[in-house]
Structure 1
Amino acid sequence: MQIDTLSEFLTGAGTDFRLYDLGRRLQPLVRADFAAIEAGQRPYPWPLQQHAWLAVAYWQRAGLSQPYIWFLKIPLDERGLLSNGAVKHFLAALVEQLGQEPYAPLSEQQQQQLAGTPFTFQPPQDKLAAFHARLSRDLGRPPSAYYPALLDYLDDPARSDWQQLGLQGLADLAARLGDDEALAAQLRRSLWRLPEPVRLALLAQCEHHPLPAGLVEDLLGAISGELERANPDEARIGLLLRATAGSAPSPGRSNKIASLLALAPGQTLMLTLAARLWQELTEESLLLAYLAQLAERHPALFNGLFAELVSIPALRPLILANLHNPQLPASLRQALGGLFPAARG
């Protein structure tokens, strides 16, 4: 029997599996949605650089053994659909190395051969930590060995050396904030007392997970406090805003983004919005304000960021509907008009 999709291969081999997107940030991908994507019935929802960046965790159905993990970088076509040829190429390499048993042990040479295909990648350490924390939580497994020491540290930051903390412990904490009200309350009490390196690393982990509403409000409030300073630190504002990215869009965050866009945002904030908070740009007024600022103040970034945003299925129809909007600012109309000559060149 010919196997054309990852789902068919994993199901036929008697495994259970979970899927996550690791492109712009960590996001779970529902299996039914992925089946529709594999069938070409819908575009990939979170493309990055014309690829789907997938983490596939699978295990034998007979018992929840240690999951096996693939990190796959699959090209997308101009419509945002998975490249069937690329998937079949990867599956052919997979069957060559593993046969029909994806949990069979691999020799070092086989691992290198499989990693040598153009469809695998190695995530950066911070995203890898976020993925392992989320997978452990989703599978009901305990957090890493670094987690207890982190909880002790949060209880009394002055009692121990923060440099002994592990990144995986911070990732475990961020992954559990949305489910544990007591833990979230403890962090809200401790967050602004943490040494800056610890706070920055923790906020970077928070962007991959939904946060409690109270913590999101604290982070947005900290942005307001930064804006009141004589010389606001845009990098800090961007980090605080990014930390809320895994949480659902909200009026409070939309209003904060609107106010930031009205203040001549720099490159850092514009990149942050496109890379992490594109879901807020599904609000037309925010999208048009963003594109207007991009065209007016950051023309060198316009073509690249426009191409990324228009590739996102949730934004594409809204962007295309406004390409010829006569009410757009002149600078934005000019930037849009220059896209096609740039593409031909």
Structure 2
Amino acid sequence: MQIDTLSEFLTQAGTEFRLYDLGRRLQPLDRDDFAAIEAGQRPYPWPLQRHAWLAVCYWQRQSQPQPYVWFLKLPLDERGLFNNAAVKHFLAALVEQLGQDPSAPLSDEQQERLAQTPFTFQPAQDKLAAFHARLHLELELPPSAFYQGVLDYLAAPDQHDWQQLGLQGLADVAARLNKDTPLSEQLASRLFNLPQPVQLALLNQCEHHPQSTALTDRLLDGISTELEHQSADQERIALLLRATAGCAPFEARRQKIATLLTLTPSQPLMLSLAARLWQELTDETLLLNYLEQLAEHHGELFNGLFAELVSIPALRPLILTNLHNPALSVPLKNAIGTLFSDSASSSSPLASDRD
């Protein structure tokens, strides 16, 4: 039987599997949605640099989950659809190395050959920790050995050495905050009194998971406090905002972003909005404000960030329908004109979208 998709391969091999996106941040990908993407019925929802960055977790049915994981970087075409030739190339490499059993033991040489295909990648350590924390939580597997140490530290920071904390333990905590109200409230009350390296690690982990209202309120309040300083720390503002990225769009955050965009927004903020908080830009007013500020204050970033945003299916129609909006500011009109002039000369797919 010919196998054309990853889902078919894993199903035929008798496995259960889950999928996660690791591109912009950690996000679960529904299996039915993935099947539709594989069938070319819809574009990939979270492209990054015209690729899908996937974690594929699978285990044999009728057994306690002992997950195997592949990290796959699959190219997308100009419409955001899977490049079928690339997918078939990867499947051929899989079958060559694994046969029909994805859980078959591989020799070191076979593992090395599979890792050398252009379709695998190694996630950054913070995303890898977030992924393992979410996976263990959802499969009802125990957290890492570092988890209890972080709990003990948060309960009594003065009695423990923060330098002994493990990144995976911090990730395990962040993954559980949304469902553990006492833990979330404890962290919200103590977060800004923790050493800066601990704050940084926890905030970086929080962006990959939904968070409680108690914690998101604290994070947004922290931004307000920072703005009161004569020289506000723009990196910290972006970090605090990014830590809420795992939450669905909500009004308080939208208002905070709208306010920040009126204050000559910093480069860290603009990068964070495009990379982590693009879902708030589905608000058309906010999107146009973002693009105008980007064109006026960060022209050197405009082409790259515009290309990334227009590749996201949820934003693409909003952006394209406003390309000829007469109400656009002069800097934005000029930036768009320059962009399409450059893309036309390089035969970019963006050129055809303008028509």
TM class by shorter chain equals over 0.9
Q: What secondary structure sits across from 1:338 in the alignment?
A: helix
Structure 1 Cα separation of the partners of residues 158 and 248 of structure 2: 34
- Aligned residue in 1 for 2:138: 138
* Partner SS, residue 55 of structure 2: strand
CA distance in 1, matches of 2:303, 2:213: 35
For residue 58 of structure 1, give the secondary structure of its aligned residue in structure 2: strand
Q: How does 1:1-345 map to 2 (within 5 A)?
A: 1-343=1-343, 344-345=345-346
Report the more deviating stretch, 62-71 or 306-315.
Answer: 62-71
Deviation at 1:64, TM superposition (A): 2.3
Distance 1:146 1:266 in 2: 36
CA distance in 2, matches of 1:175, 1:268: 25
Q: Does structure 1 retain, via aligned residues, the 8 Å contact 2:178–2:184?
A: yes
Instruction: Output the aligned Cα RMSD.
Output: 0.7
CA distances 1:23-59 after superposition (whole Å, capped 9, x unpaired): 0000000000000000000000000000000000000
8 A contact 2:98–2:106 mirrored in 1: yes
* SS at structure 2 position matched to 1:145: coil
1:65, distance to aligned residue in structure 2 (A): 3.5
1:189 Cα deviation after fit? 2.2
Q: Is the 8 A contact 2:65 2:139 kept in 1?
A: no
5+ residue gaps, structure 1: none
Instruction: Name the TM-score, length of structure 1 as normaliser.
Output: 0.99
Write the letter of the residue equivalent to 1:3: I
Look up the equivalent residue of 2:307 and give its one-letter code: A
> What corresponds to 2:350 in structure 1?
none
Q: Secondary structure at the match of 2:73?
A: strand
Helix, strand or coil at the partner of 1:175: helix
Aligned residues: percent identity? 70
Shift of 1:183: 1.3
Alignment check: 8 A CA contact 2:53 2:73 kept: yes
Secondary structure at the aligned position of 1:340 is classed as helix
Q: Cα deviations across residues 117-141 of structure 1 (Å, max 9, x unaligned)?
A: 0000000101000000000001011
Question: Partner letter of residue 249 of structure 1?
Answer: P
SS at match of 2:326: coil
- Secondary structure at the aligned position of 2:263 is classed as coil
How much does 1:342 deviate? Answer: 1.0
After TM superposition, the runs of 4+ consecutive aligned structure 1 residues lying more than 3 A away are none
Mapped partners of 2:101, 2:277: distance in 1: 39
Q: Output one character per residue of 1:246-283: Cα deviation in whole Å (capped at 9) or x when no partner.
A: 01111100000000000001111110110000000000
Q: Aligned partners of 1:109 and 1:206: how far apart in 2?
A: 37
Question: C-alpha distance in 1, partners of 2:116/2:199?
Answer: 37
User: How far is the alpha carbon of 1:190 from its aligned partner?
Assistant: 2.0
Deviation (angstroms), 1:165: 0.3
Q: 2: CA distance between counterparts of 1:282 and 1:11?
A: 35
State the alpha-carbon separation in 2 of the partners of residues 248 and 214 from structure 1.
15
Give the TM-score of the pair, scaled to structure 2.
0.96
- Deviation string, structure 1 residues 206-239 (Cα, Å, up to 9, x no partner): 0000000111011001000000111100000000
Q: Spell out, residue by residue over 1:137-191, the C-alpha distance to the aligned partner (whole angstroms, 9 max, x if none).
A: 0101111000001100000001011000000000000000111111111212221
**Whole-angstrom CA distance in 2 between matches of 1:96 and 1:136:** 30
Gaps of 5+ in 2: 347-355
Structure 1 SS opposite 2:333: helix
Q: CA shift at 1:340, angstroms?
A: 1.6
Cα distance in structure 1, aligned partners of 2:165 and 2:5: 41
Counterpart in the other structure of 2:349: none
Q: What letter is aligned with 2:139?
A: L
Counterpart of 2:252 in structure 1: which amino acid?
Answer: G
Which amino acid in 2 is paired with 1:145?
A
- Cα distance in 2 for partners of 1:88, 1:50 equals 18
Tell me the secondary structure at the aligned position of residue 149 of structure 1. helix
Structure 2 CA distance, aligned partners of 1:250 and 1:11? 37
Contact 2:211 2:247 in 1 (8 A): yes
SS of equivalent residue, structure 1 residue 270: helix
Deviation for aligned residue 1:102: 0.1
